[in-house]
């Protein structure tokens, strides 16, 4: 099978100072100051952007990757469903300054700017093979040591990839906030969650604002760089009543309604009528500037295959394993027993949402850097201090 590598590189950014990023912060603003929801480019966090072309028997698939570094073990980063490689941006910049490594974040098939011939095939088997092919194109027959790191769906794909022995130089696995038991339980309510999201956004800024204020991403800095990988400009603008107003606009409308109701009498009725007309006018919006890059609801038939049997598959991997969770309640029976038997290392990062690596990138970077140094996979740099003296 012939495989080619096409590079589309932009100029490198200068390295960020160690611990110099406002990553874990929610960026609190003073009274009267508005938060900045403008997008931030990938080049502030990664050195290179590349398109990896994998030629199959009947088609060519192109995988977008973002990377930094040219020495040390590779941290291969796999994002969650609906997200993109850019969800790893802030984390990547932090850990790159703490340990000797190469970071490589991949847009998985049907996500981000990756384009594949069959974007509807999101089976665990196909996505795992994708990772093996990308590694082969990037590094040939003798790849450097590789640490697979995945969040949610990406964590499941990392485990399937490792279990299928598709990474010959695998050092270890890090799985972030995905456990078979809780994942399977959550599938029943997933469609309701997806239906509750806005279908469209007036602008990328509006999408960033929604992601932060809805709690999908609790870290503004990460949202400003990663939401561009979740949404795209609409190809065919149409009349769409689902377009999202900013949360601020919704609050202002509620205040106007309350004021109108308070006036009473004819004036109150007139205000209510005006507000009603305003809302009706909003339904006639004839633009759809931004929408989701992937319709996750249509991937439902693959969800079971991502997560069923994941705990035993994870435990069966012979390499060192790290599990990072947003809450200890996420552990299922198999993992609880495995953790008691010392089959993997676990760390709980409280006060985080599901997107742990976005909400608290410095904490995730610290846990992973400590894990890698402890196992002698790499060395520290930039004055990073391990969490354990034994490092």
User: DSSP strand E in 168-258: where?
Assistant: 170-176, 200-201, 231-233, 243-244
160 is known as an active-site residue = no
Helix or strand holding residue 259 (H, E): helix 247-263
354 is known as an active-site residue = yes
**Phi, psi at residue 105, to the nearest 5°?**
-105, 130
By residue count, the chain amounts to 391
Measure the CA–CA gap between 212 and 45, rounded to whole angstroms.
20
**Phi, psi at residue 99, to the nearest 5°?**
-135, 160
How much helix, strand and coil, in percent to the nearest 5, is found in the chain?
40, 15, 40
Helix or strand holding residue 78 (H, E): strand 74-78
The b-or-e profile of 354-374 (16+ CB within 10 A means b, else e) is: bbbbbbbbbbbbbbbbbbbbb
Residues with Cβ within 8 Å of 323's Cβ and at least 6 positions away in sequence, in order, are: 174, 175, 179, 314, 335, 339, 344, 345, 346, 347
Are 12 and 201 in contact, with CB atoms under 8 Å apart? no
Q: Which of 152, 222, 244, 311 is catalytic?
A: 152
Measure the CA–CA gap between 92 and 73, rounded to whole angstroms.
14
Q: What CA dihedral angle connects 147, 152, 154 and 156, to 10 degrees?
A: 80
Q: Which of 113, 177, 334, 359 is catalytic?
A: 177
Q: Which of 113, 354, 357, 359 is catalytic?
A: 354
Within 10 Å of residue 32's Cβ, how many Cβ atoms? Answer: 5
Are 71 and 202 in contact, with CB atoms under 8 Å apart? no
Catalytic (active-site) positions: 152, 177, 354
């Amino acid at each position: 099978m012939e495989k080619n590598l096409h590079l589309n590189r932009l100029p490198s950014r200068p390295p960020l100072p160690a611990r110099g990023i406002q990553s874990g912060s929610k960026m609190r603003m003073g009274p009267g100051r508005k938060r900045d929801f403008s997008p931030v480019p990938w080049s502030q966090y990664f050195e290179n952007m590349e398109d990896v072309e994998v030629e199959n028997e009947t088609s060519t698939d192109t995988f977008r990757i973002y990377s930094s570094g040219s020495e040390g073990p590779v941290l291969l980063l796999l994002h969650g469903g609906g997200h993109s490689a850019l969800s790893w941006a802030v984390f990547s910049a932090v850990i790159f300054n703490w340990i000797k490594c190469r970071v490589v974040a991949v847009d998985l098939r049907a996500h981000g700017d990756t384009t594949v011939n069959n974007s509807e095939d999101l089976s665990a088997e196909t996505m795992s093979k994708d990772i093996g092919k990308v590694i082969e194109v990037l590094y040939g027959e003798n790849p450097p040591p590789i640490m697979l790191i995945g969040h949610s769906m990406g964590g499941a794909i990392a485990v399937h990839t490792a279990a299928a022995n598709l990474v010959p130089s695998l050092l270890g696995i890090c799985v972030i906030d995905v456990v078979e038991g809780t994942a399977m339980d959550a599938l029943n309510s997933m469609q309701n969650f997806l239906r509750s999201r806005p279908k469209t956004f007036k602008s990328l800024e509006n999408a960033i604002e929604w992601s932060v204020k809805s709690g999908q991403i609790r870290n503004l800095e990460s949202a400003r760089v990663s939401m561009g990988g979740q949404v795209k400009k609409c190809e065919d603008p149409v009349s769409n009543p689902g377009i999202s107003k900013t949360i601020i606009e919704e609050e202002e409308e509620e205040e106007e309604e309350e004021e109108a109701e308070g006036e009473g009498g004819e004036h109150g009725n007139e205000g209510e009528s005006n507000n009603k007309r305003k809302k009706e006018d909003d339904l006639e919006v004839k633009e759809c500037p931004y929408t989701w890059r992937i319709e996750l609801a249509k991937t439902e038939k693959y969800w079971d295959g991502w997560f069923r049997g994941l705990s035993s598959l994870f435990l069966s991997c012979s390499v060192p394993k790290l599990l990072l969770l947003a809450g200890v309640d996420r552990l299922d029976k198999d993992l609880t027993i495995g953790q008691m038997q010392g089959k993997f290392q676990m760390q709980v990062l409280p006060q985080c949402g599901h997107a742990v690596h976005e909400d608290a990138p410095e904490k995730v970077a610290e846990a992973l850097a400590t894990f890698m140094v402890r196992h002698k996979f790499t060395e520290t740099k930039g004055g990073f201090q391990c969490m354990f003296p034994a490092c």
